[in-house]
Amino acid sequence: MAFPVGFGWGATTAAYQVEGGWDADGKGPSVWDTFSHQGGERVFKNQTGDVACGSYTLWEEDLKCIKQLGLTHYRFSLSWSRLLPDGATGFINQKGIDYYNKIIDNLLANRVTPIVALYHFDLPQALEDRGGWLAEATIESFDEYARFCFSTFGDRVKQWITINEPKMFVLMAYEVGTFPPGVPHPGTSGYQAVHNLIKAHVRAWRSYDSLFRKEQKGMVSLALFAGWVEPADPNSVSDQEAAERALAFHLDFFAKPIFVDGDYPEVVKSQVASMSQKQGYPSLRRPQFTEEEKRMIKGTDDFFAVQYYSSRLVKHQENHKGELGILQDAEIETFPDPSWISLDWVYVVPWGIRELLKYIKDTCNNPVIYITENGFPQGDPAPLDDTQRWVYFRQTFQELFKENMLPLGGNSHSDKKGKYLGFCFFHSSL
């Protein structure tokens, strides 16, 4: 298997998962610091990210690993509260700037391209205390933070992710409560958070486009988590419709407004409206975009960053009891094929990524697509002869080669559309 010229190998980390130094050198607390310190098994074995991988003090060791692996790209996230301890530019932490300048400069000196995520679930606690992602004021705070980062690091960083996996964040934080703030309100808070996250991305993208793009010549998008789904019974109309709803609620919820027409999928709107009526709500449980907002949202992308791990089968599951929840509104049940090999939650379905990329190509105006996360969980303990993981990767790439999806060289804003992949990143967080 020969990889084309321009193909890139990379790894991905997230600030809270690897940095440690939770209160070092002027860093303010994030929601994850607060959440993990509360105890009560809110986090597995009451673990915290206080030390994590110690990357804040051991970055040079991480750099050695990056060089040893021969990576061409490294995607990492910035800790908002390390740079702006209270979430605003009124108090800027120079030690935080120095730390990220060191990472960026070291990467470039070793011919490794940095890709930087502004937000990977670790909102400054000061902003959460004022309402967090349920408050519209956080949209303005995020835009201020994004402009600060573009101004501070954008002379060297040319590829930006505004928000990492907003769907997963919303489900875990506001539907289930296993992510901070940890106070779930299924079927209501999640929709408001989705609304504000989309508008925050849009504000940041528009700021980059109007204030920084001409000089910095970079690219900005957001990273969307998505698995592929197939009807449990391919001959069942209800299962086929369930698969369409699953994609609409899991992927198109964010992709359609940004990449297509500025508004939520019609099936999402109709499902929530129908369920709200059945549940006796006097109005929709889901906020709506104004016509002006739709015009501002549409086209706020420079590439499509997708994060794929696995696939599921799906069938219709009517919400007879009128339970509240985003997934309950979708009226679906997802499950793996019993023949699929798995480790933890990842089932090995290599053809799923090919189907997903084709779907994105066909429904999102044929964007340039970057796989910004993909991979297979390590065993416990991780085996030295890691056969399962390299088989997963090999089969995944075999599927991508079937339709000439690999890749793309180049990474400029003017890249021609109609190609599938820019670079592949293999998830390496905790």
One pLDDT digit (tens) per residue for the chain, 430 residues? 677 777 888 999 999 999 999 999 999 999 999 999 998 888 988 999 999 999 999 999 999 999 999 999 999 999 999 999 999 999 999 999 999 999 999 999 999 999 999 999 999 999 999 999 999 999 999 999 999 999 999 999 999 999 999 999 999 999 999 999 999 999 999 999 999 999 999 999 999 999 999 999 999 999 999 999 999 999 999 999 999 999 999 999 999 999 999 999 999 999 999 999 999 987 889 999 999 999 999 999 999 999 999 999 999 999 998 999 999 999 999 999 999 988 888 999 999 999 999 999 999 999 999 999 988 877 666 666 678 788 888 898 889 888 666 543 333 333 444 444 444 554 444 3
Residue 402: how many CA atoms within 13 Å on its side-chain side? 15
Query: What gap in Å lies between CA 134 and CA 127, rounded to an integer?
Result: 10
Query: What gap in Å lies between CA 268 and CA 261, rounded to an integer?
Result: 15
In a domain, 3, yes or no: no
373 is catalytic: yes
Contact 149, 142 (CB under 8 A): no
In a domain, 410, yes or no: no
Residue 166: how many CA atoms within 13 Å on its side-chain side? 28
pLDDT of residue 418: 44
In a domain, 97, yes or no: yes
pTM exceeds cut of 0.85: yes
Which helix (H) or strand (E) is 57 found in, with range? helix 55-69
Locate 75 and state its tokens: 């995607």
In a domain, 416, yes or no: no
140 is catalytic: no
Active-site residue, selected from the candidate residues 128, 144, 165, 331: 165
Query: What gap in Å lies between CA 309 and CA 346, rounded to an integer?
Result: 6
Contact 319, 329 (CB under 8 A): yes
Query: What gap in Å lies between CA 202 and CA 144, rounded to an integer?
Result: 13
CATH of the domain at 75: 3.20.20.80
In a domain, 417, yes or no: no
In a domain, 414, yes or no: no
Q: How many residues does the chain have?
A: 430
Name the residue range of residue 355's domain.
8-377+386-404+423-427
Q: Which of 262, 281, 319, 274 is CA-nearest to residue 188?
A: 281
Active-site residue, selected from the candidate residues 128, 144, 331, 373: 373
In a domain, 125, yes or no: yes
Q: How many domains does the chain have?
A: 1
In a domain, 88, yes or no: yes
pLDDT of residue 275: 95
Locate 328 and state its tokens: 């309950």
